[in-house]
Amino acid sequence: MRLDLELLRGAIDTHLHAGPSVFPRLMDAVEAAEAARAAGMRGIVIKHHHTPTVDRAYLVHRAVPEVEVYGGVTLNYAAGGLNPFAVDAALRLGGRVVWMPTVDARNHARHFGEFGKYGSRLDYEKPRIYEGVEGITVLDGEGRLRPEVGEILDIIADADAAVATSHLSAEESRALVEEARRRGVRRMVVTHVAFVTAALSVEDQRWMAERGAFLELCYSSLSPAWRCASIDKVVEAIREVGPEHYILASDLGQVHNPPPPEGLRIYIRLLLEHGLEAEEIRVMVRENPERLLGLDA
């Protein structure tokens, strides 16, 4: 078997989007699991900007039992923002990941000029309730973490679940990682470190890794539709920080991008062509996702 296809077998995509969604999606959640099954992958984690994905993950796994399917909750306005009650419910129902705000993050608007969507690339008719909103930030006016963030982190620590930085700024992400570590959260991931909302330097990535956070590399950041990163810069960062700190994911599901397993395969292929060893890639696409989700190997 070709090496990129072999490395995809048993992989876990910890970040993909599937319909139904307010954004156009390439496939629904069942089709996403079926695509993962066809590629021989172990599992997927479904992320949604507006609704918790725990129920969806449960039902999709019932429909496609050969693939492990996991969910969680994203703390955008639709979930009540930085809402400890939404976090508690999602984790009690089996959620594995709590994502900080994405399209409703104040930092998201700094880069895309608006809340709730991604300009013309991922668009929908945004409701009037967005008029006048200031966006969600984890910091107060004096640059300290808001009290509800501490409550959320305590719930995550008690459930031994994972927290993800999503579209927070680098400053917010550093504060979150420090506090999560202090409160006993063992599973942390810095979301799509090469995407425009994060754009973390190698030094920032090393800082996060030294504090126990995984660094997520997503194919979407390399895709022609977004072009936030180059494969050369990605490889340089992996070499400097170490593959043991990274997770490869797709962040796919958009109609202008390939299916999630194909995007993950392309990423694997590119890394092989740029000199990474198969075992280094296996750590990033299989072993580290298992650690993030608390799974047995």
Cβ atoms within 10 Å, residue 214? 25
pLDDT score at 221: 94
pLDDT score at 124: 77
Confidence of residue 297 (pLDDT cuts 50, 70, 90): low
Q: Which one has a higher pLDDT value, 125 or 221?
A: 221
Cβ atoms within 10 Å, residue 278? 14
Hey, what domains does the chain have and what are their CATH numbers?
3-293 (3.20.20.140)
Region for 276 from its dihedrals, namely left if φ exceeds 0, alpha if ψ lies in -120 to 50, beta otherwise: beta
Peptide bond into 20 cis (omega under 30): yes
How buried is 248 (Cβ within 10 angstroms: 0-12 exposed, 13-18 middle, 19+ buried)?
buried
pLDDT score at 278: 98
Confidence of residue 3 (pLDDT cuts 50, 70, 90): very high
Tokens of residue 263, six digits: 């995007």
Report CA 297 to chain centroid distance, whole Å. Answer: 21
Residue 208 predicted with pLDDT over 70: yes
Q: What is the pLDDT of residues 177-196, one digit of tens each?
A: 999 999 999 999 999 999 88
pLDDT score at 131: 87
Cβ atoms within 10 Å, residue 85? 12
3-state secondary structure of 250: coil
Residue 120 predicted with pLDDT over 80: no
pLDDT score at 245: 98
At position 63, the amino acid (one-letter code) is: A
3-state secondary structure of 244: helix
C-beta separation of 14 from 189 below 8 A: yes
Q: By percentage, how much of the chain surpasses pLDDT 70?
A: 99
Q: What is the pLDDT of residues 45-73, one digit of tens each?
A: 999 999 999 999 999 999 999 999 999 99
At position 291, the amino acid (one-letter code) is: R
187-190 and 97-99 strand pairing: unpaired
At position 98, the amino acid (one-letter code) is: V
